[in-house]
Structures are given as structure tokens and as C-alpha cells.
Amino acid sequence: MSGLYRVLVVDDEMLIRQGVINYIDWVEEGFQIVGEASNGNEALRLIEELRPHLVITDVVMPGMDGIELVRVVKEKHPEIEIVVLSSFEDFEYVRSTFQSGVADYILKPKLNGGELIKTLRKVMPESRRSNGVAQSAPSMEELLQKSLAGYSLTAGEEQLVKGFAFNHYSLIAVCGSQNPDFLRMEMFDERAIDAFFIPSNVSGTMFVLINFDREKLQLVKRGITELGEAEKHSRWLMSVPFTSIYELKRVYEDHLLKMKDYLFYLTDEKVLIYDALPQVPEAEKPFDLGRFLDLIKQKKFEAAIPSLTEHVDVLMRNYTKDIFEFKSWLENILFNVIVLLGNMNYDVDELEMKKYEYFAEINEAAYAKDAVAIFHTFIEDVKRIVLVEDNKSCPADMKRLLQYIEEHYTEPLSLTTLSETFHFNPSYLSSYFSTHLNIGFSDYLNQVRIVKAKYILETSQASVSMVSEMVGYSDPSYFCKVFKRMEGSSPGNYRKQTPAMN
């Protein structure tokens, strides 16, 4: 705050920090508490950001302790004064340990308001405070910034933030613009509406507190909408209204930051108002990764890829989904596909080389559509590699054979019957499945049948015995045994776990 000495309090005990902050009226004494830290590492980051005039620090702390903190601060910022909070009774030891870097010290057992004021006046004498640092009341914007950051206000500062004219508040975020002039319009010159800018460390985002009379709520909403639609390069968010300024930090964290994350998905929305958000789609059906990988194993890419892209499109419509979870899901699919294709003897060297490039670009994507575009690039690379390899290794007759299995899986099939139908040597067929599909014929046929069985279980009420017969198993008990081996659960339990059937 302009005109006041800035003070940073450093101690790993929260009660000590709160005691220091609340023992005296800092503003009255010409100081402002700008922040608090629990160890030296946190303190150094805040010092670079806040540039305090005075640091009050403990000696023994986890991570970087007070001794190292003083050394680093005095080396980088010799103009900063430091007062030590110590449990040691021998000040000569403390002073020599800090190599005379501290201005004074306070023993924790004697820590109280009187001792603090005495030390402050010694370290920052009145003559110095009046020479070049004029005492002035903190601005409302600076107090709001402090509250938003979660720092405790002194008793004097709390009195100041109680001075709002009206009984309702809303927090506004303007993303993509740092021009406050957009808020200087007639609607904020109304007698029952005030606007306060809150200095922000969030890159590209400006925060504004709107203070208004309850009856002006619709006017505020309309004004925010008009401003957002008029300003081409920014996007506007309005939080839920609240009635106590002490709710500021909660509304910021629980409402406004969540709305800001919605912009990752809602790229076409210029304005988001707390009670006029787009409808959230119904919870998406969990993606059946096992079934997807089974289709890949069977080289049924024409069925696997559309099911995947369809699910990605569903995910993108759920704007409440955690961004990290969304990106991780895409990366997990990418990783599994590369590993599986490698196990199937596809040439995945190109995919392996580009894998971390895919990951990095997805992680850095500013919007869901950007992450999905990168994902689709990966899918196109996969399709190209698969097409090249399959054209090399799969004769036209063999493609017809695989299609025949797809169409006749409900019938008794064996290497012998297929060899007779397609005039292949049974040994050649057996070798082909093992070499080119990385699976034996019987396991391949079981995969086809179990994929079909899962679909029937998910979409109908047919009994397990009926499903067994429908997919080509004459013995239901054998069908259940194969199903459990491949899926890890019985057909009945699989159906119970399927959301569509519950």
C-alpha cells in the first residue's frame, strides 16, 4: 500500500503469525502486513513479488530456516530490515549467527503488542517514517487484493473493508484484457452500484468487485453482458452474488475460478453469468477401454476409431470436467494405443519419437478443442501406419477370411472348416494368426464373440444362456468361463456394472 512500510511475517507456526498480525494496529503505526509465509522458501518468493521494507522471521523452520533466509535476503536486498523471533535468550549468539544481518530480535516468550511496537519504533524510527514514507490509509483495492490472497487483515483494515455503501457483492473476472476503462460506463455511475479493481497476479485476467443494492442485480447482469459482447478480445465472468465481504475469498475459489476453467471448453462463450450457464450434459457413459483395445487387437480399426472419437466429442461437451483429468484421459488412450500396436508388431518408431511431443502439446493446450486437434493428428498418424503395414502383410484372401469370421462367429468355426472354405493349409492359417495378429485362432474367435456378448449384455435383458447361444457358444458354462477369463468378471456381474442397465 502506498505510504506505508510493507511487512512480511515468516513463521512455521500459524498461531505465531496470527499473533504478530493482530497484536497491534499496523496501519496506525505506519505499517502494512503484505503477506505471511511458513518457511524461508515461501518467504523468498513473496519478497521478490511484494518487496517488503521489513521482514519479521522465526529462526527454526522446515525447509529454509531463518539463518539462511537472512543471509540470502541481505545478499540480494540489503535495504530490507529484518527482525528475528527467537527462543534463544542469548542475543549475542543470534546476532553472531546472522553475522549482524538482523536489525533486532524479539524473544517469543515476550511477544506481545507492546514489545512489537517498541521494536518497530527502534528499527523504523518515527523520523524515518515521516521522511520519504508518508502515512496514508490503504486503498480499498489493496485491501481487497490482500483478502483475496487469503491474508489476515488487521483490526484497522477490517474497519475499512466494512465501509461499503451497498449490501450485495459480485466478483467479476475479465479474461484477455487489462484495460479497466471498459468498466467506466454509465451503469457504474449509478447511485447504487460501485466497482473496485483488485490487482491480480493471474496473467491476462483482471478482477473487479461490484458492490450494489439488491434491486440492481439485473442491471449489473445486463451491464456485464453488454460489456463482454462489446469488447472483442476479452471474456467476462460474473460470480454468484454474496452479502458479506468476508465471503470474497470463498466465492473467488469456489465459484469464479471454476467458471474460469469452464472457458477451456466453452470457447464460443463471450460472457458467463453464474445463473445463465449452458446446460450441463448428462454424465457420459464410461469409455470401455477394454472393448476398444479388443477391437484394435482384432484389427477392427474401422469400428474402434469412431467409437473413440464419438466419446471424445461427448467429453468436450461436459464443461465441468476437470481439465487435468480430461488431458490425462487423452494421453492415457494415446499411450495404450502405441504400446498395443507395438505388441502387434506394427512399426511404431515414428509414434514413439513423437509421443512426448503429443503429450507436451496436449498439456499446454489452452482450450479443449486444441487438445483434441492434437489427439486427432495422432489418430490420423495411427491410421496411416496401420494402413501401410496391413497392405504389406495381409493378402486380399486373408482379409476376406477375417470378414467371414466377423459375419459367421455364431456358427461352429475351426481352422479345419475355414481351411476347407478358403482352400488354405490349416498350418498356414495357424501361423498367420500367431505371426500377423499376435494371437492364436481360438483366442481371436473368442475375442470376436466376447465383444459381441458384451454389447448384447449392455443393450438387452437377454439371459446369460441366451447370450451364450447368440454368440456361438453351445455350453453356457464354458461361455461364462471364457468371459470371466477375458473380462475379469462373470457375464452377470458385468451387466450389473454397466451404467446403461442400472
Cα 416 from Cα 430, distance rounded (Å): 10
Cα 378 from Cα 360, distance rounded (Å): 13
Per CATH, is 5-138 categorized as 3.40.50.2300?
Answer: yes
Return the DSSP state at 252: I
All cell numbers assigned to 443: 483366442
As a three-state string, the secondary structure of 98-147 is: CCCCCCEEEEHHHCCHHHHHHHHHHHCCHHHHHCCCCCCCCCHHHHHHHH
Q: List residues bridging with 8 in a β-sheet.
A: 35, 55
Reported CATH class of domain 164-273: alpha beta
What's the confidence (pLDDT) of residue 501?
A: 47
Q: How do the residues of the chain divide into helix, strand and coil, expressed in percent and rounded to 5? A: 55, 10, 30
Q: Which residue has the cell 453482458?
A: 225
How many C-beta atoms lie closer than 10 Å to residue 426's C-beta? 15
Cα 32 from Cα 491, distance rounded (Å): 68
All cell numbers assigned to 436: 500377423
Q: Find the helix or strand (DSSP H, E) in which 357 lies.
A: helix 349-364
Per-residue pLDDT of the chain (502 residues; tens, 9 = 90+): 456 788 999 998 888 888 888 888 888 788 888 889 989 999 998 998 888 889 998 888 888 888 888 888 888 888 888 888 877 555 556 665 566 567 777 877 777 777 788 888 777 765 344 444 444 556 777 778 777 766 666 666 677 777 788 889 999 998 886 555 555 544 455 556 788 888 766 667 888 889 888 888 998 898 888 888 887 788 999 999 999 888 888 899 899 989 999 999 999 899 999 999 988 877 777 888 888 888 888 777 777 888 888 889 888 889 999 999 999 999 999 999 999 888 887 888 888 888 889 999 999 999 999 999 999 999 888 888 876 665 555 566 677 777 888 888 888 888 888 888 877 777 877 877 777 666 788 888 888 898 889 889 888 889 999 999 999 998 999 999 999 888 888 998 888 876 544 4
396-408 vs 441-459: helix crossing angle, rounded to 10:
40
All cell numbers assigned to 199: 490487482
Cα 277 from Cα 259, distance rounded (Å): 9
Q: What is the pTM of this model?
A: 0.57
Instruction: Return the half-sphere exposure (C-beta side, CA atoms, 13 A cut-off) of residue 411.
Output: 9
Strand order in the sheet with 235-238: 193-198, 205-212, 168-175, 235-238, 271-273
What's the confidence (pLDDT) of residue 502?
A: 44
What's the confidence (pLDDT) of residue 467?
A: 92
Reported CATH class of domain 396-501: mainly alpha
Q: Which residue has the cell 478482477?
A: 207
Nearest partner of 14 among 150, 110, 126, 132, judged by Cα? 150
What's the confidence (pLDDT) of residue 127?
A: 38
Q: Which residues contact 105 (CB under 8 A, 6 or more apart)?
A: 83, 84, 85, 86, 91, 94, 95
All cell numbers assigned to 470: 447368440
Per-position DSSP letters for 187-207, written without gaps between them: GGGSTTEEEEEE---STTEEE
| Cβ atoms of residues 299 and 257 within 8 Å | no
CA distances from 70 to 21, 67, 103 (A): 20, 5, 11
Q: Which residues contact 22 (CB under 8 A, 6 or more apart)?
A: 152, 154, 155
What's the confidence (pLDDT) of residue 329?
A: 93
What's the confidence (pLDDT) of residue 494?
A: 85
Q: Which residues contact 260 (CB under 8 A, 6 or more apart)?
A: 173, 175, 205, 237
Q: Where are the domains of the chain?
A: 5-138, 164-273, 289-393, 396-501
Task: Name the 3-class secondary structure at 6.
Answer: strand
CA distances from 239 to 174, 199, 210, 250, 461 (A): 12, 18, 10, 11, 46
